[in-house]
């Protein structure tokens, strides 16, 4: 009964979305406030209905209702409750339901927190948001209905891939979707601007909080997925240039560009057209990512061609949404006039360069991800584009982007003095070279690529810190500098923490690529193995049981020059329902790196295969990523952007675009 209610609620959400797509837009174009207000009510109803549908599906998973096909295929009565709940979105249908739930959530949040946005603009935004929703509700109801029953109901479910029975990967999709789907708001604001013809600094100020919020979620989601791969897949890899990863990385790259160009619109009333185009592109890449992941085209081009129902549906939606928005852009953009004026040496130019580099970097990932698919469809040739290609093409471009990111904040708005830039860059170069040289000497590194990587990270970090201090009035009395630092606007803190976070991530990536120590061997309990400066000793292996698995847990003692550093407990689990093993690495995080142990197969005569690693820098990657996500949230609380906060300035006067 509850399941049927959920199905009904989903249909109701579709109806609400249709109303929300049509009525407020009509009202906005005709200037009818009562019709515009329908958008707010419809957004509330749509969210409520979708939340009910999602709740009903969650209920079915919680009570293990195996008469529901989805539950029978993806759950099991013996699964811990946490993973019964997270199992809701660990499958195609459920994850699409989560997708629309997020979409509806953003719609209702725009309605609730966007009271200061003029009625016509808000109505148009909500309408576009609902147009996206209509397509996805139809997609779910027609091709991916999560509420499908089967009869007779099986006695128990088939379980869930044990790799996914993990808290990291369980929280990964909601965060990722927060970003992925959150960019729909930017798309809606952009299309609404094209429809209403209103683009000005106020427009950017309304849109930017949503972009910041979504971008923060996407950053955290990507990092969480990477972290999961690191500790779960059993050998410490964290990024594979897998198409699924690229699908989330592309919106991140373009979203980063959008975040920066929106600042120029807000502060300088320049780059209007470009920012609108970026907003459309960012969400278009989210849609393309959804298509790549959800159509099955990645598993096999042929599987997609023989069972095209879902893929063809999403492809059709891609054409309608992306094609429609770009056509609208081509048609209306000529009416938007860029009035911004700035000198060649200026912050504006810096941000334009940032946008160019990030777009090119994203383009490279895009080509590399889609090339094999297109080639196979066109010529039938099967090729692979993997990590070696991306490392060679993307990393140099991104390294240059980071070098330039350090210089951007040195430039003043409107007109910067090249001499200031040269002086600050000189100091930065000296600091970065110093750090690189001492790292090379202290740790004995001669590999040019590694040295360059350290230089890039040190360059960005020292430039960011230098600029933070300068802006706080240094050199000067420490107390005054600290006081000024605390008084800096939140958006400035967002800049410094974000750039610093990126530098820390880069430092971590370089460190683990260059200095990782590894040992793979068969050992008897009691046997010691040297791993870099550490000594790993397998103490014992104990067999025991978890809630829905059997497990062998090893105790591995780690010492350094005879002193105990940690005891690690790597596990090797066996999930009988799913007939699959998983490895759980034993990890101890130190400030400079992770001690990482993996238990492998028993090797006869009481021995075990073990893999031991010392992964320097890895904790910095997670710290840096967390800092980046946090920076966006701090920037979000800036007074200028705080949604609904009383404006210290005069309310923006609506003005016609022409």
Which one of residues 107, 209, 368, 617 is an interface residue with another protein (CB under 8 A)?
Answer: 368
Least distance to another protein, CB of residue 281, Å: 14
Residues numbered 395 to 414 that lie near another protein (CB under 8 A) are 397
3-state SS class at 572:
strand
- State in angstroms the smallest separation of the CB of 110 from another protein: 31
378, burial (CB in 10 Å: exposed 0-12, middle 13-18, buried 19+): exposed
DSSP one-letter string for 274-297:
HHHHHHHHHHHHHHHHHHHHHSST
What's the rounded Cα separation, in Å, for the pair 256 and 361? 11
Residue 525 binds to another protein (criterion: CB under 8 A) = no
From CA 525, how far away is CA 515, in angstroms rounded? 28
Stretch that binds another protein, among 314-322, 325-333, 392-400, 648-656 (CB under 8 A): 392-400
| 383 binds another protein, rule: CB under 8 A | yes
- CB-count burial class (<10 Å; 0-12, 13-18, 19+) for 33: exposed
Q: Which residue's structure tokens are 């989560």?
A: 98
Binding region for another protein (CB under 8 A) out of 178-186, 418-426, 593-601, 636-644: 593-601
| 232 sits near another protein (criterion: CB under 8 A) | no
Binds another protein by CB under 8 A, chosen from 176, 598, 621, 628: 598
With CB under 8 A as the contact rule, the residue among 6, 39, 234, 593 that binds another protein is 234
State the CB neighbour count (10 A cutoff) for residue 464.
Answer: 23
Minimum distance, C-beta of residue 608 to another protein, in the bound complex (Å): 10
Task: Copy the structure tokens of residue 142.
Answer: 């027609």
Residue 580 sits at φ, ψ, to 5 deg, of: -135, 145
Residue 410 in tokens: 């040195």
Alpha-carbon gap, residue 545 to 80, rounded angstroms: 13
DSSP 319: I
Kindly tell me which of 154 and 388 has the beta carbon lying closer to another protein. 388
- The reply to whether 367 sits near another protein by the rule CB under 8 A is yes
* Residue recorded with tokens 């400035």: 492
Where do we find the tokens 């949404």? Answer: 321
Least distance CB 364 / another protein (angstroms) = 5
Q: 275 CB contacts (<8 Å, ≥6 apart)?
A: 190, 204, 258, 261, 262, 264, 265
Chain positions 328 to 357 lying near another protein, rule: CB under 8 A, are 338-344, 348-349, 352-353, 356-357
Quote the least distance from Cβ 152 to another protein, whole Å.
Answer: 29
* H helix or E strand, kind and range, residue 551: strand 550-560
Q: In this complex, which beta carbon is closest to another protein, that of residue 396 or of residue 477?
A: 396
CA dist 558 and 553 (Å) reads 16
Applying CB under 8 A, among 34, 306, 561, 579 the residue interacting with another protein is 579
SS3 119: helix
Residues 383 and 350: beta-carbon distance below 8 Å:
no
Q: Which of 33, 197, 323, 388 binds another protein (CB under 8 A)?
A: 388
**How would DSSP label each residue in 240-271?**
---HHHHHHHHHHHHHHHHHHHHHHHHHHS--
Question: Stretches 62-70, 152-160, 325-333, 358-366: which one binds another protein (CB under 8 A)?
Answer: 358-366
Identified binder of another protein from the candidate list 307, 371, 590, 592, rule CB under 8 A:
371
For residue 611, state whether it binds another protein (rule: CB under 8 A). yes
- Strand 550-560 with 571-575, pairing: antiparallel
Rounded least distance, CB 40 to another protein, Å: 38
Q: Does 137 bind another protein (CB under 8 A)?
A: no
What per-residue string of b and e applies to 235-262 under the rule 16 or more CB within 10 Å gives b?
Answer: ebebbebebebbbbbbbbbbbbbbbbbb
Q: Between 308 and 363, name the residue whose CB sits nearer to another protein.
A: 363
The residue (of 174 and 296) whose beta carbon lies closer to another protein is: 296
- 532 touches another protein by CB under 8 A: no
| Smaller CB separation from another protein, 349 or 559 | 349
Binding track over 16-55 against another protein, x by CB under 8 A: ----------------------------------------
Note whether 306 binds another protein by CB under 8 A: no
Question: Rounded to the nearest whole angstrom, what is the least distance from the CB of residue 304 to another protein in the complex?
Answer: 14
Q: How many residues bind another protein (CB under 8 A)?
A: 64
- Does 559 contact another protein by CB under 8 A? no
| 418 is an interface residue for another protein by CB under 8 A | no
Summarize as ranges the residues that interact with another protein (CB under 8 A). 234-235, 237, 240-243, 270, 274, 298-299, 338-344, 348-349, 352-353, 356-357, 359-360, 363-364, 367-368, 371, 375, 379, 381-389, 392-393, 397, 520-522, 543, 550, 552, 572, 574, 576, 579-581, 583, 598, 600-602, 609, 611
């Amino acid at each position: 009964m509850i399941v049927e209610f959920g199905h009904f609620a989903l249909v109701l959400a579709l109806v609400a979305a249709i109303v929300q797509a049509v009525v407020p837009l009509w009202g906005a174009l005709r200037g009818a406030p009562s019709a515009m207000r329908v958008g707010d009510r419809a957004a509330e109803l749509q969210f409520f209905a979708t939340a009910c549908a999602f709740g009903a599906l969650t209920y079915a998973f919680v009570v293990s209702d195996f008469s529901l096909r989805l539950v029978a295929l993806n759950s099991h009565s013996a699964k811990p409750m946490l993973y019964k709940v997270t199992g809701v979105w660990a499958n195609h249908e459920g994850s699409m339901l989560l997708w629309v739930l997020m979409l509806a959530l953003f719609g209702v949040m725009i309605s609730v927190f966007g009271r200061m946005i003029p009625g016509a603009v808000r109505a148009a935004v909500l309408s576009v948001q609902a147009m996206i929703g209509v397509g996805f509700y139809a997609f779910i109801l027609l091709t991916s209905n999560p509420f499908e029953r089967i009869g007779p109901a099986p006695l128990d479910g088939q379980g869930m891939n044990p790799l996914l029975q993990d808290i990291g990967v369980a929280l990964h999709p909601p965060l990722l979707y927060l970003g992925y789907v959150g960019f729909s708001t930017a798309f809606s604001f952009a299309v609404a601007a094209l429809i209403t013809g209103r683009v000005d600094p106020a427009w950017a100020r309304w849109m930017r909080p949503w972009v910041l919020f979504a971008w923060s979620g996407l950053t955290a989601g990507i990092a969480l997925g990477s972290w999961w791969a690191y500790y779960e897949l059993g050998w410490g890899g964290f990024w594979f240039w897998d198409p699924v990863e690229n699908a989330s990385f592309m919106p991140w790259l373009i979203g980063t560009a959008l975040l920066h160009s929106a600042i120029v619109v807000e502060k300088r009333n320049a780059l209007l057209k470009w920012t609108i185009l970026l907003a459309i592109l960012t969400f278009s890449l989210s849609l393309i990512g959804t298509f790549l992941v959800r159509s099955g085209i990645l598993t096999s081009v042929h599987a997609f061609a023989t069972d095209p129902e879902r893929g063809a549906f999403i492809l059709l939606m891609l054409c309608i949404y992306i094609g429609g928005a770009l056509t609208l852009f081509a048609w209306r953009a000529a009416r938007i006039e860029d009035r911004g004026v700035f000198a060649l040496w200026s912050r504006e130019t810096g941000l334009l360069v940032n946008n160019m580099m990030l777009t090119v970097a994203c383009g490279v990932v895009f080509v590399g991800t889609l090339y094999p698919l297109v080639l196979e469809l066109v010529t039938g040739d099967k090729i692979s584009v993997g990590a070696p290609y991306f490392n060679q093409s993307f990393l140099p471009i991104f390294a240059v982007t980071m070098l330039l990111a350090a210089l951007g904040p040195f430039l003043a708005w409107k007109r910067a003095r090249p001499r200031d830039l040269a002086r600050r860059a000189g100091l930065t170069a000296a600091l970065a070279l110093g750090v690189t040289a001492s790292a090379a000497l202290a740790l004995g590194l001669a590999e040019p690529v590694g040295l360059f990587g350290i230089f890039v990270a040190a360059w960005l970090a020292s430039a960011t810190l230098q600029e933070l201090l300068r802006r706080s009035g240094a050199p000067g009395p420490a107390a005054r500098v600290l006081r000024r630092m605390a008084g800096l606007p939140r958006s400035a803190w967002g800049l410094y923490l974000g750039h610093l976070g990126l530098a820390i991530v880069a430092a971590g990536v370089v460190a683990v690529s260059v200095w990782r120590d590894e040992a793979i061997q068969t050992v008897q309990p009691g046997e010691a193995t040297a791993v870099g400066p550490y000594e790993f000793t397998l103490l014992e292996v104990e067999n025991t049981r978890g809630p829905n698995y059997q497990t062998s847990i090893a105790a591995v003692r780690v010492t350094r020059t005879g002193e105990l550093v940690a005891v690690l407990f790597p596990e090797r689990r066996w999930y009988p329902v799913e007939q699959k093993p998983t490895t759980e690495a034993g990890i101890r995080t130190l400030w400079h790196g992770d001690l990482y142990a993996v238990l492998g197969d028993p090797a006869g005569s009481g021995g075990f295969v073990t893999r031991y690693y010392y992964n320097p820098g890895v904790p910095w990657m997670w710290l840096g990523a967390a800092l980046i996500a946090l920076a966006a949230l701090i920037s979000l609380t800036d007074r200028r952007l705080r949604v609904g906060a009383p404006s210290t300035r005069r309310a923006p006067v609506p003005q016609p675009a022409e």
